[in-house]
Amino acid sequence: METDQLIAIEVFCSNYEVEYAFVESLQEHELIETVVVDNARFLQIPQLNRIERIIRLHHDLDINLEGIEAIQDLLDRIDFLDREISSLRNRLRFYEPGL
């Protein structure tokens, strides 16, 4: 992965006022992925929306990591189903243009 798509975890933690241990626990629960480059850990910039959502769930709503895992799984399923519905609608429009 290109390094311009990475942000150092230390920089992320200082900007978002989050502890480094929290980010490590997110990785341990497989809620996020980190990248190691030259013995330094980085987050992928495309994951920032997901991480921000997780931080809000944890800090604002006081949801533990197990609850966040369940919520994230449900949100991933919803995203998959939304994409599937869009695909099926497009196929249906091909056969029935008036819809």
- Domain at 31, CATH number: 1.10.1660.10
Question: Which residues are within 8 A (CB) of 58 and not within 5 positions of it... i.e. 6 or more apart?
Answer: 22, 64, 65, 68
Domain count, the chain: 1
Rounded to an integer, what distance in angstroms lies between the CA atom of residue 36 and that of residue 48? 17
* pLDDT, tens only, 16-70: 999 999 999 999 999 999 999 888 899 999 999 999 999 999 999 999 999 999 9
Rounded to an integer, what distance in angstroms lies between the CA atom of residue 88 and that of residue 90? 5
Domain that holds residue 12: 3-95
Rounded to an integer, what distance in angstroms lies between the CA atom of residue 42 and that of residue 27? 11
pTM: 0.77
